[in-house]
Chains A and B, each alone.
Chain A
Amino acid sequence: MADHSKVGKEYPAVTWEVERGKIRELVRAIGDFDPVYVDRNVAVKEGYKDCPASPTFLTVPMMWSSSMPGVITDLAINFMMVLHGEEEYEYYQEIYPGDVITATPRVAAIEEKINKSGKKMDMVTIELLYLNQRGEKVARARSLLVERK
């Protein structure tokens, strides 16, 4: 079960250089063929500086950096029993190719709940505030992990 003593703990920062190809690869995997994500001219015409990252792009630095698996291990959560319950992003500005974004994962909350079938679950909330290479806030991400017990 999740280690409740670790509420408030911060983990090593995730730093990620945003590549144009990764923005394209993610939208292609989703099957989103909006040219704004892949064609700089279209993006500029629509008022962007370059192709913006798509709304769920921030999953990429979390997963490819292995940050989230590391957090799950440190919290003593059973990998076999964990489900992704919720995900939320607040967007402060666009993320563009060449940006270097950094975030510090923090355990915001761990709560025990009982589901409809009467089984205990731990609800673990991880929050990250992403800054860019200029130190500006770009986005906040909140993940709720559900560990069945």
Chain B
Amino acid sequence: MAKQIYFEDINVGTEMPKLVKSPLVKLQHVIYAGASGDFNPLHVDDDFAKAVGMKDGVIAHGMLIMGFVGQAITSWISKKDLKRFGVRFAGMTRPGNSITVTGKVIEKKTHGGLNLITCEVTAVDETGDVKVTGSFDAALPTKG
């Protein structure tokens, strides 16, 4: 549960607390498919994945990795303060990969009466291979 973060607590360069996820297992792809409704066999059927060129079989849903990034964000910033969240899917994630999400504040400003921060976020695997890059904006309350 996110403890309230205030605008005064944040500066450009402030780092988001790192989130380290357990290594992915194929079962998690199945659970995510059911939850999200994305039943593309590329994520759950090794034979299909190999047939379309994934020599090691299934890959994780990109949206699952975006979900990990969302988890990292709302473990730090309250969900209600999150105003925009966007990612680019940069690499494929496979069973066995352990994802780490990091982030850093790149902009802080007051605009239209809102106290806004923009933060860059990155998800990498255990070898440092980049899976997702992105950013989010949050409007934070002040202590005053």
Contact = CB atoms under 8 A, between A and B. Distances in A.
Which of A42, A59, A65 lies at the interface centre, i.e. has the most chain B CB atoms within 10 A of its CB?
Answer: A59
Size category of the B interface is 35 or more
B87 to A, nearest CB: 6
Nearest to A90: B84
A32 B67 contact: yes
A86 B88 contact: yes
Given A29-B36, A54-B70, A54-B74, A89 B79 contact: no
A31 B37 contact: no
A56 to B, nearest CB: 5
A85 interface: yes
* Contact-size category for A: 35 or more
B100 to A, nearest CB: 14
B80 interface: yes
Nearest to A24: B35
A30 B72 CA distance: 11
Given A25-B34, A88-B85, A47 B1 contact: no
Interface string B71-106: 101110011101111111100000000000000000
A141 to B, nearest CB: 10
A94 B74 CA distance: 14
Contact of A63 (B38, B70, B84): B38
Given A54-B74, A60-B36, A89-B84, A42 B28 contact: no
Closest CB pairs A-B (n = 5) = A88-B86, A64-B37, A63-B37, A55-B70, A29-B35
A83 B89 contact: yes
